[in-house]
């Protein structure tokens, strides 16, 4: 009796193991097949977004090639090294495009592209990826609403009101979804502070900037 029970559980366990292995194998295979193309699509999308927030007449260099590696930094919220794109007009610094992550969205991280002019004014902000509630928190996407354009022309020096209107700041929000814009506003503000802190080095020709993370 005990033997048959043990055998039955073993059978069940092995069955489960077999399906887990098959499932993992299928996932690993699909991932290996698609991951390069996914990276390409993400890159292409990023370039499309960059061209939206960096005005064509503000630079004459090849932004895609003029990049700088940015190490993980608490102000930017990035965990690994990311790429900053540098736009220059007649070799003078014009616009810097930074990648930043808002860690405290309603459901996880929100990845942002932030374009900052040399004078510290925002040229524009775009959301690259997020997991906010469809139909509620997704108005941060440019495809769904113009909310994100509210950052255009703002700078960190107009301090104090870097909050949503509900908290006494200057940024709009939609009722029912305040956590999302709060996270974005905070992340953009911190990116501006980062820009001020490293302004010289960010447009310098070489040498990656060291992160502030301990």
Partner 1 sequence: MTYQEFKDILYNGVWKQNTGVVQLLGMCPILAVSSSVVNGVSLGLATSVVMALSGAAIAPIRTVVPNEARIPVFILIIAVLVTVIQYLMNAYMYSLYVVLGIFIPLIVTNCIVLARIEAFAAKNPPMQSAMDGLAMGLGLTAVLAVLGGIREIVGHGTLLSGIDMALGESAKSLVITVIPNYHGFLLAILPPGAFIALGLLIAGKNWLNLRAEAKARSAAIQAVQTQAA
Nearer to partner 1 (CB atom), residue 144 or residue 210: 144
Nearer to partner 1 (CB atom), residue 19 or residue 81: 19
Alpha-carbon distance 71 to 83, whole Å? 9
The answer for residues whose C-beta is within 8 angstroms of residue 85's C-beta and 6 or more apart is 50, 63, 64, 66, 67, 96, 97
* Shortest spacing between CB 205 and partner 1, in angstroms: 34
The answer for residues whose C-beta is within 8 angstroms of residue 207's C-beta and 6 or more apart is 201
Binding to partner 1 (CB under 8 A) within 43-62 occurs at 44-45
Nearer to partner 1 (CB atom), residue 95 or residue 164: 164
Binding to partner 1 (CB under 8 A) within 17-46 occurs at 19-20, 23, 26-27, 30-31, 33-35, 37-38, 41, 44-45
Q: How far is CA 58 from the centre of its chain?
A: 23
* Shortest spacing between CB 94 and partner 1, in angstroms: 29
Closest CA to 164 of 143, 187, 144, 141: 187
According to CB under 8 A, which one of 7, 11, 165, 213 is a site residue for partner 1? 11
The answer for residues whose C-beta is within 8 angstroms of residue 8's C-beta and 6 or more apart is none
Residue 7, interface with partner 1 (CB under 8 A)? no
Closest CA to 64 of 81, 80, 47: 47
**Number of residues located near partner 1, criterion CB under 8 A:** 32
Q: What is the phi/psi pair of residue 169, to 5°?
A: -95, -155
Residue 138, interface with partner 1 (CB under 8 A)? yes
In the complex, the residues that contact partner 1 under the rule CB under 8 A are 8, 11-12, 15-16, 19-20, 23, 26-27, 30-31, 33-35, 37-38, 41, 44-45, 130-136, 138, 143-144, 175-176
């Amino acid at each position: 009796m005990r033997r048959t029970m043990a055998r039955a559980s073993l059978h069940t366990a092995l069955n489960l193991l077999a399906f887990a292995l098959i499932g993992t194998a299928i996932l690993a295979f699909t991932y290996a097949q698609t991951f390069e193309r996914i990276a390409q699509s993400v890159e292409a999308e990023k370039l499309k977004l960059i061209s939206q927030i960096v005005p064509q007449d503000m630079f004459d260099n090849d932004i895609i090639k003029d990049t700088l590696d940015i190490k993980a930094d608490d102000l930017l919220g990035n965990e690994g090294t990311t790429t900053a794109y540098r736009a220059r007009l007649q070799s003078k610094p014009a616009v810097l495009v930074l990648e930043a992550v808002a860690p405290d969205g309603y459901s996880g991280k929100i990845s942002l592209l932030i374009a900052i002019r040399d004078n510290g004014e925002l040229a524009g902000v775009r959301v690259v990826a997020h997991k906010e509630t469809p139909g509620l928190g997704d108005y941060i996407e440019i495809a769904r609403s113009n909310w994100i354009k509210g950052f255009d022309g703002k700078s960190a020096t107009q301090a104090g009101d870097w909050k949503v209107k509900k908290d006494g700041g200057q940024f709009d929000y939609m009722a029912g979804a305040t956590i999302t814009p709060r996270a974005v506003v905070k992340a953009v503000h911190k990116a501006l502070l980062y820009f001020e802190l490293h302004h010289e080095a960010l447009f310098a020709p070489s040498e990656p900037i060291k992160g502030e993370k301990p």
